[in-house]
Amino acid sequence: MGKLAITGGQPVRRKPLAPWPVYSLEEARAVQNVLASRNWGGYPFPNKLADAFAQKFARFHGAKYGLAVANGTVAIEIALKAVGMRPGDEVIVPAYTWEGTVGPVMLLNAVPVFVDVDPDTYCIDAKLIEKAITPKTRAILPVHLAMRFADLDAICQIARDHQLAVVEDCAHAHGGKWRKKGAGATGDLGTFSFQSSKLMTSGEGGAVITSNLECYERAQTYTNCGRASSTDKFRHRFIGHNYRMTEFQAAILEAQLRRLPVQNKMRLANMEHFEKRLGVTPGLGFLKRDARQTAVAPYQYVFKYSPEHFGAPRAAFLGALEMEGIPCDGLFYEPVYKSALFPVDAREYPALSWGRSEPIDLKTSFHCPVAERASYEEAVWLPHHIFLGSRKDTDDIAVAVLKVCENTGELRGLKHPAIERKAMSRAERPRVERRMW
Ligand SMILES: Cc1ncc(COP(=O)(O)O)c(C=O)c1O
């Protein structure tokens, strides 16, 4: 029997950490009111609560206009359509993100161009963007990942120089700020997700924000089956989807938004305490905070684990940490071009073949070493809600991490179902996953 729970010792934590999502009577009353109103859907568009929420959410982030939509994936598709994306256009995307950042590019028959991430932030490395620009490039799609922002100063400068659009994927960044401006308000448009794991949630849901009326009008038309926007100044007409949000979701999100600032403050205070407790532990590394990121949106606490230093693979570290009672992840994302959730059949995406004798092979054309190391070796992701508890809870998380680090000798060569689970990709997990999100 060893010291670690995974080898038979006592776990640091038996009691679950803070649950997610958080809700109260506010959400219950709001949903009840929608139910009684019999006005449930997104039509007529924009419906009352969805519109009120969307405008509030946009203003909260410093943008003029907001649109509440079905989820964060379609929010990206809508934003790309709003900047006038056409089949065959290229979009510069980070290699390290959720597949849902890149799927919409493909679904519009545009072409993603993967760029590696910065090892200090795990967000797109702005220094590598110019090399990826071609005459077909139409937009840059940075993701503010986990707890950091992409370098919006550099990205927007490049976009101005090359007349490109910037769509910020803010699925992790509710309440975050760059130079005191809210997430999504620096680029042409910002997109958000309210899926269950996010910093505020209605189970599913999304938002698009912008200060550009023409983009806003196009976004409305695409979201609402091609109908004219509410202002219709630019009179754009094209086929759209039904990507509207229901009034139930909007009612919940109103309450979630009211709670967000206090929750973000608490998450951040606990994460800072956690980081101090880890101190300078050899073999662990931290992401750097850029002073221009004036408010952190703490979606997940991400740090780096060195398998070489500890002599045990990351999956073993994570399996052991989970057995100590701490929810955690490693293969949270993989370089999208390598992911099983990104199968690419060139016959379905004709733009991959346009102007070429052979279609571009998105699976083999890119090699992004920082993203690959983060994905398969070093990144450790801790969900935000475990930092919504007491200081003692946070101390337990730190104690558990340090305990596993001090006893990695017990993990060498160890086989255990918890370790196997931690080595599974997101594509494989639904078979074993009990977590709701
Ligand atoms: C970075 C990123 N982009 C886009 C999305 C897509 O959001 P949704 O799941 O709401 O469609 C997500 C969320 O899962 C995400 O994490």
Cα(36) to ligand 1 centroid in Å equals 31
> Which of 69, 71, 73, 168 for mutating ligand 1's site (highest number of atoms within 8 Å of CB)?
73
Q: How far apart are CA 425 and CA 339, in angstroms?
A: 8
Pocket flag, ligand 1, residue 169 (CB < 6 Å): yes
Pocket flag, ligand 1, residue 193 (CB < 6 Å): yes
**Longest C-alpha distance within the chain, in Å?**
72
Q: Which amino acid residue places its CA nearest to atom 7 of ligand 1? A: 72
Pocket flag, ligand 1, residue 98 (CB < 6 Å): yes
Strands 111-115 and 90-94, how do they pair? parallel
Cα(9) to ligand 1 centroid in Å equals 38
DSSP 214-273: HHHHHHHHHHBTTPPPSS-SS-------B-BPPHHHHHHHHHHHHHHHHHHHHHHHHHHH
Cα(248) to ligand 1 centroid in Å equals 20
The number of the ligand 1 atom at minimal distance from the alpha carbon of 74 is 11
Q: How far apart are CA 303 and CA 290, in angstroms?
A: 16
Pocket flag, ligand 1, residue 300 (CB < 6 Å): no
Please report the pLDDT score of residue 297 as a whole number.
98
Condensed to tens digits (0 to 9), the pLDDT of residues 106-157 reads 999 999 999 999 999 999 999 999 999 999 999 999 999 999 999 999 999 9
H or E segment to which residue 112 belongs: strand 111-115
Cα(48) to ligand 1 centroid in Å equals 25
Please report the pLDDT score of residue 430 as a whole number.
84
Please report the pLDDT score of residue 275 as a whole number.
97
H or E segment to which residue 348 belongs: none
Pocket flag, ligand 1, residue 100 (CB < 6 Å): yes
Q: Which amino acid residue places its CA nearest to atom 12 of ligand 1? A: 171
- Give me the count of residues in the chain: 437
Pocket flag, ligand 1, residue 201 (CB < 6 Å): no
Pocket flag, ligand 1, residue 372 (CB < 6 Å): no
Enter the tokens of residue 203.
């189970």
Pocket flag, ligand 1, residue 187 (CB < 6 Å): no
Cα(169) to ligand 1 centroid in Å equals 8
Pocket flag, ligand 1, residue 105 (CB < 6 Å): no
Pocket flag, ligand 1, residue 339 (CB < 6 Å): no
Pocket flag, ligand 1, residue 71 (CB < 6 Å): yes
Low-confidence ranges of the chain (pLDDT < 50): none
Enter the tokens of residue 329.
């992840």
Tell if the pTM clears 0.85, that is, is over it. Answer: yes
